[in-house]
Structure 1
């Protein structure tokens, strides 16, 4: 396959922070993907949840299944747009490596703990944590900490970043992966990451909207009747019933979501092609200096936003979800306080990361950050068991 001129060519990669010989049978982006799949953090995603926690059922999405769905959607679109599929896949598989246990509830609680411990703390950002995982926290290779991924994969992983944290990264890595988040007084305005990173970001949105609807109905917290209020869903439900009159239950839900996903994929392809024709970026750097080019049409963007609002109001803020969220946040707060009060409750390998004990390694950090790293790496199950060990009570049903 011949890539588009503005796609990322692994032969023109900005490379790895620590240079390595090129692999004889794989491109650098394929090698990144393989390192991610074999990482410890990737395996943990199977027991890190999205909306519904691990104890609530075996069939709800986890961070692992979500990442696979994002990779599948991203590759399908990338192939049609002549973008680099391997890079899209690598970013998609790595984008949630830094997520805490208990989904966004755990992230919010850990961020609050860091802020409470130190008002000047940079807090917790799961995208930045994903970068920390691949840059420093994975321990697989004798020559360096982390996975030593290419610039392009790391750039895509850092989807969001506060200016404060971006400035810290920029100080260590000028014109690096955080550059687009830092205001520049002079020079070209670096607005965006690569097209492949933009695509992985949009595929993430498409995937979680669809599977949260599916999981919401499976849980009983959403009904097909409620979803009729969502224009994007109701349109394809009517279309499905026009082809399969009398279809009911899960088959109706699955077919509706399948058609909805297909429509969004084709919309992204058409809208992005149109944007690329208008902008005509000559290369990857021209993409970075332009506004976002991987996009929905205006109509689909409005419909996607309407779906997100529906899920926020009817699923994420559902009393049952809120109750579980509050319990999960209590687990994270208790774990944080316990480890800060007595670091010996953590494994010795984490204590050894405290500043001064092994300062030559990239993973060395202040105690508060080491505690945050340890908690962020936990699965739902392990966090719940640790909480029960430390507090003497189970906060979730067995």
Structure 2
């Protein structure tokens, strides 16, 4: 009887999933399920690396078979929005096996901050593990609180490492050049600073902190909580960040530019106090697109493949509170326009493109969203 009931419940669940996605212009296939997942990256052999905020890194194949948690992952400060975050493969991963992880780490007196470590992954055998773990970047200063770490990471086509560093829910950090929070950062793959960064003239003998505490890592500033980072087909960098009460932003990132937060925002403070809109301060870069009501972006990709030919060059944004994938057309002039919104029926945490042009989607594991790994195909 129990087997029959389980089979009946499974059939009902499948029917509900099929009904929920019946109007979508793609097929949704559930591959696996995770505990509080945050990011996914595809290895050259087709297997995936999935991070769970509690500190687990798991390898999963295309059929959904999961490995044991990978050994050697750094200790994470789990809680609130913090824990194990993003994962990226080194551009020469096929030769060096190197992966990059972002995570929240504990400091003294209950403080916390984001960090990025690199390590060599041994994905063979029954006990996958990391070795030669090296922390190459830390958020400074470490602060009290559990939110706005940002810590999305991305390699560009020239091999530079980009890191988003959230404002940690502290209003002063995004405009403070003596902090690397509230910024988009550009580094070499070893954590050193490229010679042509916009604030590199502030170098001192300390390779990470310039004169007066100004960080030459900084590429742009005035950001709140950047949770999506992607390269356009033309190589330009786009980011998406959560606004306060309203005003989620999609920005084209320019060298040395200031995007204004918290001096300006198209949202307001959560307590109802007004913030000046971007149009009032032309010295700050304004967003290419913004949302009120918010979509609560969790991640973003810019589509390059051929499986969904009509999407090529468009941004696909993972929506948390919007429970959707939002498609945005990007203009050559830096403009952007939402053209489609796909109701996924769950909070969407991450979106990544597969080598074959299909889309990997991670649901959030919160409320009625159950942390599933999904694959979208035509």
Report the TM-score range of the alignment, normalised by the length of the smaller protein: under 0.3
Structure number with greater CO (CA < 8 Å, separation at least 6) is 1
TM-score by length of 1: 0.24
